[in-house]
């Protein structure tokens, strides 16, 4: 008899749990997703929960020191947009367990790799800048081909004949001429590198490697800031 009653009680509890999955465990409103398979949450409660977890995870890891500069590689995709939003919320004065690092946002422009037109390139960069500035962040635009640019002194010594200069010119004009030639050479090197990568896997590995190298270069030497 006791076994039968226990079985009925378990069935009732299962039915109640199943019906409760449609209600947020925090506020009782209609749930939109399940966390850990059995914790239903509405949109607002999930965002608050996830934001708290994000800040707590960074704090517990102690991977970032207070006041340290941190490079945020922003691609413009949904994951990057969510990450930037989380950082913004974590840096706000009202945030519990406020983030204490100083973020620097950078976008690696891969238009040349994908063969995009100038119009599409400009449109993509504009959307990146607008979204970042909307959240209060300046963004540095890094052209991926600049990873192939030689050091200025090497370039000047080896490429004196690449720029024809007539008469007396100031240093700004000379620097602009040399830079233009260097960028052209870098673009050709980038194109040849991807042409030599025969398989899709090789091309993807090359792209990942170039992204990583760009992230390790000083921002003030290779980027445009917006």
pLDDT digits (tens, 9 = 90+) for 119-144: 999 999 999 999 999 999 999 999 99
Supply the pLDDT for residue 156. Answer: 37
Cα atoms found within 13 Å of the Cα of residue 216, Cβ hemisphere only: 7
Identify whether the C-beta of residue 137 lies closer than 8 Å to the C-beta of residue 83. no
Supply the pLDDT for residue 183. Answer: 83
Query: With 80 as the cut, is the pLDDT of residue 24 above it?
Result: yes
From the list 155, 144, 161, the residue with the least C-alpha distance to 215 is 144
pLDDT digits (tens, 9 = 90+) for 27-37: 888 888 888 77
What does the alpha-carbon distance between residue 216 and residue 225 come to, in Å, rounded to a whole number? 17
pTM for the model stands at 0.69
Supply the pLDDT for residue 65. Answer: 82
Average pLDDT, the chain: 78
Query: With 50 as the cut, is the pLDDT of residue 212 above it?
Result: yes
Query: With 70 as the cut, is the pLDDT of residue 182 above it?
Result: yes
Residue scoring higher pLDDT (101 or 14): 101
Supply the pLDDT for residue 216. Answer: 80
Residue scoring higher pLDDT (4 or 45): 45
pLDDT digits (tens, 9 = 90+) for 140-181: 999 999 888 864 444 434 444 444 444 445 555 555 566 677
What does the alpha-carbon distance between residue 74 and residue 88 come to, in Å, rounded to a whole number? 13
Supply the pLDDT for residue 92. Answer: 80
Distance of CA 70 to the CA centre of its chain: 12
């Amino acid at each position: 008899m006791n076994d039968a009653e226990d079985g009925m009680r378990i069935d009732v509890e299962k039915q109640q749990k199943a019906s409760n999955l449609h209600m947020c465990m925090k506020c009782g409103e209609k749930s939109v997703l399940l966390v850990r398979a059995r914790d239903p949450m509405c949109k607002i409660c999930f965002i608050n929960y996830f934001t708290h977890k994000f800040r707590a995870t960074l704090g517990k890891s102690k991977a970032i020191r207070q006041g340290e500069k941190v490079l945020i590689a922003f691609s413009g995709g949904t994951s990057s947009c969510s990450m930037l939003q989380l950082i913004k919320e974590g840096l706000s004065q009202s945030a519990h367990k406020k983030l204490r690092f100083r973020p620097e946002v950078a976008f690696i422009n891969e238009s040349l790799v994908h063969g995009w037109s100038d119009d599409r390139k400009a449109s993509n960069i504009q959307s990146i800048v607008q979204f970042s500035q909307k959240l209060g962040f300046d963004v540095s635009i890094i052209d991926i081909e600049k990873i192939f640019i030689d050091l200025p002194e090497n370039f000047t010594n080896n490429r004196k004949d690449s720029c024809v200069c007539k008469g007396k010119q100031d240093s700004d004009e000379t620097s602009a001429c040399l830079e233009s030639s260097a960028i052209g050479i870098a673009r050709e090197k980038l194109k040849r590198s991807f042409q030599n990568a025969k398989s899709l896997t090789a091309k993807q590995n090359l792209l990942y490697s170039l992204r990583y190298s760009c992230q390790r270069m000083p921002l003030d030497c290779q980027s445009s800031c917006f």
